[in-house]
Chains A and B, each alone.
Chain A
Amino acid sequence: MSAKKKSASKSGNKKTTTEELELAVLIPDEEHPDYCPGSISGDYGEDCESSWNPENDPSGEADGSEELGSFPSIPGPIPHPLPVQPGPIIPRPIFPRFCGPVSGTYRSGGRRRPPFAHPISIHPRPVVPRWIPGPIFPINLFKLTVRVDVDRYHPQERISVEATRLFPNQKSHIIAEVTSDRCSGWRNRVIRANIVYRDGVNSMLPGTEIVFTARRTRGFGYGAYQIELRGGGISPKRYDLSYTSRYFDPVEFEVDRVSNAGNIVTSYATGSHPNRPAGLPSETITLASVYKRAGFDAKMSPNSSVIPTSGAGANGTWSDAEMHNAMVTYWSRFANRPQWAMWILYAARHDSGRGLGGIMFDDIGSNHRQGTAIFTDSFIQDAPAGDPNAPAWRRRMEFWTAVHEMGHGFNLAHAWQKSLGNPWLPLANEPESRSFMNYPFNVSGGQASFFSDFRFGFSDQELIFMRHAPRRFVQMGNSSWFVNHGFEAPDETNHTGNWDLVVRPNRGSNTYKFLEPVTMELKLSNTSEASSAIEQDLLEDGRHITVFIQREGGEPKQWRSLMTHCHEPHADSLNPGESIYGAHNISVSTEGWLIDEPGFYKIQAAIDLTDEIVVSNVLRLYVAPPNQDAEANIATDYFSEDVGRVLAFQGAPALDSAEKILETVVETCSENPAAKHARIALSTPKLRNFKILEADGGREDLAIKTQVSKVSAAAKIQGAALLKDPNVAADTLGHIPYFETLRKAAEALEESGAEAEAIKMMTKTIKVMKDRNILASVIDNAERRLKRRKD
């Protein structure tokens, strides 16, 4: 490589001199013999080349598929007579059935943004943004990434699907072998594939077969894509897809060289050495173009740098540790996390000596496979005696070594080691393969035999791995070296760090008694350095949060509030460090009880703030087994939807059967915290004139009846339930519902004229607040309300 331009720049932590790398000069894809442009009217099974190569079709016409039928015959007379003299019969034009390439990546899902105001920075003159309330869209948590591999370069006839559920965090991965690839006329390409590999949560991607469809909608290109999972007795699941890229994943390579590494080779003219396969196109390939043809959207980092020799220490040669240090220092993208990026170092020589031509040195630490090295002063410079073009041989060998080491970065092992270690699936050794991952001098006939038949690519096993294996096996910095090798672990959230969501019981213990409803408190905090406008009721109205509950050993289930509140939007400023709160009975959902049986449960919540989805911690709680026979005896009736409604609504007199069950709980399980919930639910409707819609006589006789309030009696029951053992009551109800219930009881007393009782209840409430160290602002509010009542 000749340095084309030098300039000063910053790479990693050091200022270095940058040099531009040579560009690829490639023949057009459609002219390359290794490129498959698409499908012509055939079933899978026809070699792509034979379906395209006119030499195999002397008639010059494309083969028709037997199953699809032959080309339409010339039509007979036009069925309807023309109003004028009939003209000549014009045959319908016959179009060849050609389907363009579909290989690449497709995606489904994506976030649908709810139309409420998003957090914005508050300027000195805050302006509350106006927005139009509309339907609330749930957070779209399920996404598919589909990789179709049936044409373009070295198609492997595979379709792989990666499913991600953001919350709770679950992944699933399947790979299917194509069994049928039909180009049905002008409009459709339909590809069927049998699932042969699974990883992760199987239930996310059920079935035994995949059907991928690409359909032309307007013009010549495809406009609609769909995938269907079917077979194995499941109801077919269809997902619409959008085309993302012709490649399977992006990757960036950064090349740095040590100053004494000489001229480094990052490109190679395939026609420069006479020992090469007949028919190999003459082109200048580069490190990036090789991996592009392997299926990656490979780019070279602009931060190509020259590194001083001082990093090699006094001996002037490089140890693995010294190279790792250089990577940390000079690689502009170094990070201790998985990423589709790799660092390539050209150095003169390794500590091992001239016998080491290159090494993927990064098998230390927690993030492997991010760095590789090529040693320019090593045996890779030793052209065989009598070689017809020694300079070209050296250039080819150095280029080959670089791609080989980079292949290790993709977790590819040597061709003869495929069955060793922890392969991702059973693999056969390929000791004679003409792949970048095989040593040229190890095959039968040595390097001359190797390069006479080497097309600068990878084996099918290697391509299937790189393109379709679970991405953590392939991605740099992810699976450790040689684990799940192709051989030889949430950033969906777009986490900004500005928000923190906590789900907590806000009590001393995460253990709940059998029958006890679980009240969960949510706390969303502004952890940024700027104020933000936020809808105050975000956590309380039941519409904006998503909660998942999983009994350990069971499937996660989404909690949906039995009540959602629609209200006039009002955004307030939330300063750095401030929080908003919400509390919900999460035992009961629209689909019944989610926390009922004894055992361990995991809870996690998320909220969509438009710019990001903030996910909470995972809370683990325990539900104890029944403490007495009475609890076990009533369980079947208690864990019903109607009882759940009575508890969630804090009273539903129309559901009298459910209310009777709660009365039984009060009578027979009085020491169980569930009894406190029951007392509150049974008494709350009596705090006001409660309207009931009676429909005993049918739709024609609907009537609204009013149950007269019994404020004093109800407040007395609630006072006893909440203030006799305030700590027990607050622990089981949760702070927010506990103090809210007391406030409403005091208000009902005041409205009914029992002001002294109201003041007494509020005074006791404030004492409990102080004893339990409630937020000072909440106590202040309560004291102000009490003062107004007294005045």
Chain B
Amino acid sequence: MKYEIHIQEIFQGEEIVLSINGLETARFEAHTRFQIGLAHVESIEIKEGDTITLKTEALNNEVQVTAETKKPFLAVTLHDGRLEANAKKSTPRYI
């Protein structure tokens, strides 16, 4: 199923490593555009129960979630050096 990872706030050039079930899938730099509070959207294909891991190597911090088909959107934030991830049923909204 299609799954969207929304890298939101507050990213200022950190490199994010995305892995699915331990296998690195993508690596990208995130810069939050403050006028909408969004840095990057990564679209992936996953199955129910897959383990999604996001890591910032520079901060040695990672977050892991288990994919749910009823919540196909993941909002990821970085506060005080800690990654946080919240799965959502509907697409995050930005203005």
Contacts and interface: CB of A to CB of B under 8 A. Distances in A.
A71 to B, nearest CB: 53
A644 B92 CA distance: 75
Nearest to B93: A379
Main DSSP-derived SS at the B contact region: loop
B94 A482 contact: no
A481 interface: yes
B11 to A, nearest CB: 11
Nearest to B91: A355
B35 A363 contact: yes
A65 to B, nearest CB: 46
Contact of A355 (B9, B34, B35, B92): B92
Contacts of B36: 356, 359
B35 to A, nearest CB: 5
B37 interface: yes
B10 interface: yes
Contacts of A352: 41, 94
B5 to A, nearest CB: 13
Contact of B94 (A355, A408, A413, A421): A355
Contact of B35 (A357, A360, A420): A360
B95 A358 contact: yes
B37 to A, nearest CB: 6
B33 A363 contact: yes
Nearest to A404: B95
A356 B94 CA distance: 5
B7 to A, nearest CB: 13
Interface string A396-430: 00000100110010000110010011000000000
A323 to B, nearest CB: 13
Contacts of A420: 10, 34
Interface in B48-95: 91-95
Contacts of B93: 355, 357, 379, 439, 441
B34 A421 contact: yes
Nearest to A353: B91
A380 interface: yes
A488 interface: yes
Nearest to B92: A355
A380 B93 CA distance: 9
A417 B10 CA distance: 9
Contacts of A482: 34-35
Contacts of A441: 93
Nearest to B34: A482
A714 to B, nearest CB: 75
Interface in B1-58: 9-10, 33-37, 41
B91 A359 contact: no
Interface string A427-458: 00000000000010100000000000000000
Contacts, number: 48
A71 B15 CA distance: 71
Nearest to A482: B34
A354 interface: yes
A551 B9 CA distance: 47
Contacts of A358: 95
B95 A417 contact: no
B61 to A, nearest CB: 19
A363 B31 CA distance: 13
Contact of A417 (B9, B41, B91, B94): B9
Contacts of B91: 353-355, 379
Contact of B34 (A353, A356, A414): A414
A482 B37 CA distance: 12
**Which residue of A353, A356, A401, A421 has the most chain B CB atoms within 10 A of its CB atom?**
A356
Nearest to A408: B35
B78 to A, nearest CB: 12
A472 B95 CA distance: 25
B20 to A, nearest CB: 22
Nearest to A400: B95
B60 to A, nearest CB: 23
A408 B91 CA distance: 23
Interface string A150-173: 000000000000000000000000
B35 A359 contact: yes
Contacts of A354: 91
A389 to B, nearest CB: 21
Contacts of B33: 363
A388 B84 CA distance: 36
Interface in A461-488: 481-482, 488
A438 to B, nearest CB: 10
Contacts of B37: 414, 417
A357 B95 contact: yes
A480 to B, nearest CB: 12
Contacts of A355: 91-94
B8 to A, nearest CB: 11
Contact of A357 (B9, B10, B94): B94
Contacts of A404: 95
Of the candidates A355, A363, A380, A404, the one having the most CB atoms from chain B within 10 angstroms of its own CB is: A355
A681 to B, nearest CB: 65
Contacts of A380: 95
A481 B92 CA distance: 23
Contacts of B35: 359-360, 363, 408, 413, 481-482, 488
Contacts of B10: 420
Given A413-B35, A481-B34, A482-B35, 20 more contacts: A352-B41, A352-B94, A353-B91, A355-B91, A355-B93, A356-B36, A357-B95, A359-B95, A360-B35, A363-B35, A379-B93, A404-B95, A405-B95, A413-B34, A414-B34, A417-B34, A417-B37, A421-B34, A439-B95, A488-B34
18 contacts: A352-B41, A356-B95, A357-B94, A359-B36, A359-B94, A359-B95, A363-B35, A379-B91, A408-B35, A414-B34, A417-B9, A417-B34, A421-B34, A439-B93, A439-B95, A441-B93, A482-B34, A482-B35
Interface of A: 352-360, 363, 379-380, 401, 404-405, 408, 413-414, 417, 420-421, 439, 441, 481-482, 488
Interface of B: 9-10, 33-37, 41, 91-95
Q: Which 7 A-B pairs have the closest CB atoms?
A: A355-B91, A357-B95, A360-B35, A408-B35, A358-B95, A379-B93, A356-B94
